Structure 1
């Protein structure tokens, strides 16, 4: 073999080796690029997952979420966000305001002893009643029973004003009303058990569904946001216009429950008669029949201010 052929063979071999090396280097660079790209994607996926988890963790839940839910107002309400519950003869010239919290033990005591007196005055057309329902005991004692019961009361009011009054009376009754420290009304099942004692609500599937679905949860939050309206921060409170009414105190002395209830009713009657004048039968308190918007002429609209 000539020297020339030998040199050409060696040169060809070197070129093949160089080409193989370049090919391997390109494969290695591509491999590294793919590894880096995969790592970046992995980091982004993890970061995205963390971001999603953080976002979900910061989303409001429960009653905080109810503040952002769609507002559904019950029938038989008026005023801003349906927060005016006005019950009674529209032609009644006066409006008594009643402030309550469903978990309030004093409200329960009033309803148990005197609720029927108030209901009779409403029925007789002596005055209309605006109910402002608070939920401040949830904040004081912890829990959500006041708000949950208020939402259920919204479902009852959607049925009728009569169902609202009877359901509220049942919630306050000695049969069902829990100690304020026991958050029993946070359970829908308990609220439905109480409703089973109320005509118009027992077996009412639409009412039951609204309670379970929390249809009026947002409305309950709007109602509870009225805390402090007209300066009222305790319950039960009674007002006529801007005037706070005071029930005479019951003496601290030993007596039976029947005696206490009779005295409580008599003291409530004294307060009402003093403010509105003695009752004059079924037509007492009625105006000229031109009412209908809930607030009589010359009387301050309770939905404005405060």
Structure 2
């Protein structure tokens, strides 16, 4: 018996073809949706990872200790003179402070005489709270250069640049001395030009300066200059300083 071929209904074939095409389109749509969704998830993961890395990096920077210049004591002082001197004078100063400049001009020579004779040891406690009094954060810049001199050339050179900075003190409200001028004063005090120029540009001591300034006010400093003789605060005047030192030497 022969097998007959049954003819196909053209309308049924078209419907099946359309259904198959629809199923294929639906599968394609689902694949594209899955890919898009996966891409969004990956992008979100990448954003979270980048943000996490940034936060951790910021925490690491915040946790880094401030660079402490060599030669500074634990109490933030730079000591000049013999450790065997019977009297100690502590000066809390800001290189932008006009009253500090006037006080230095009035008593600087006398302090040098006492130090050279071995009668007095001077403790400089520098701070920088008058950055707002210049347009270039002069207080911090000047102190940063002075600290670079200390680290490079020692306390005697620091004392020298201290005197030079006050002798060249700019008025409040302006830009102050530029870095080139500050470096020039540092070199005159005995420091290496390249070392100080790098410090003036990079400002490695800014964090320490902020901490030292805050610590001074926490210790009771209310302004500059603050003058102490053997730990006792005295009026910031030449007469009061001389009287206090002479009394301490006589005791």
> Normalising by the residue count of structure 1, what TM-score does the alignment of the two structures yield?
0.65
Name the SS of the counterpart of 2:170 in structure 1: coil
Contact in 2 for aligned 1:104/1:137 (Cα 8 Å): yes
- What are the superposed Cα offsets for residues 91-114 of structure 1, whole Å, 9 maximum, x if unpaired? 113211111111110111122232
Judging changes above 3 Å, is the alpha-carbon distance between structure 1 residues 38 and 100 closer, same or farther for their aligned structure 2 residues? Answer: same
Alignment pair present for 1:220 and 2:220: no
In the aligned structure 2, how far is the partner of 1:227 from the partner of 1:166? 23
Which residue is 1:200 aligned to? 190
Alignment pair present for 1:155 and 2:148: yes
Alignment pair present for 1:116 and 2:109: yes
How far off its partner does 1:164 sit?
A: 0.3
Which residue is 1:73 aligned to? 68
Which residue is 1:146 aligned to? 139
Q: How does 1:1-306 map to 2 (within 5 A)?
A: 5-7=6-8, 14-38=15-39, 44=44, 69-79=64-74, 83-138=76-131, 144-158=137-151, 159-173=153-167, 176-185=168-177, 187-196=178-187, 198-201=188-191, 203-228=192-217, 230-246=219-235, 268-277=241-250
Judging changes above 3 Å, is the alpha-carbon distance between structure 1 residues 229 and 27 closer, same or farther for their aligned structure 2 residues? Answer: closer
- Structure 1 range deviating more: 164-173 or 88-97: 88-97
- What are the superposed Cα offsets for residues 108-162 of structure 1, whole Å, 9 maximum, x if unpaired? 1122232121122112110211111122222577762212222221111112111
Judging changes above 3 Å, is the alpha-carbon distance between structure 1 residues 5 and 142 closer, same or farther for their aligned structure 2 residues? Answer: same
Q: Does 1 or 2 have the higher relative contact order (CA < 8 Å, sep 6+)?
A: 1
> Normalising by the residue count of structure 2, what TM-score does the alignment of the two structures yield?
0.78
Contact in 1 for aligned 2:101/2:166 (Cα 8 Å): yes
Name the SS of the counterpart of 1:18 in structure 2: helix
Judging changes above 3 Å, is the alpha-carbon distance between structure 1 residues 229 and 243 closer, same or farther for their aligned structure 2 residues? Answer: farther
Structure 1 gap ranges (5+): 249-263, 278-284, 286-306
Residue correspondences, number: 245
Judging changes above 3 Å, is the alpha-carbon distance between structure 1 residues 195 and 179 closer, same or farther for their aligned structure 2 residues? Answer: same
Judging changes above 3 Å, is the alpha-carbon distance between structure 1 residues 95 and 37 closer, same or farther for their aligned structure 2 residues? Answer: same
Q: What is the root-mean-square deviation in Å for CA atoms of aligned residues?
A: 3.7
Structure 2 gap ranges (5+): none
Q: Relative to total residues, which structure has the larger helix share, 1 or 2?
A: 2
In the aligned structure 1, how far is the partner of 2:219 from the partner of 2:89? 13
- What are the superposed Cα offsets for residues 64-103 of structure 1, whole Å, 9 maximum, x if unpaired? x7x75543323323225xx232221011132111111111
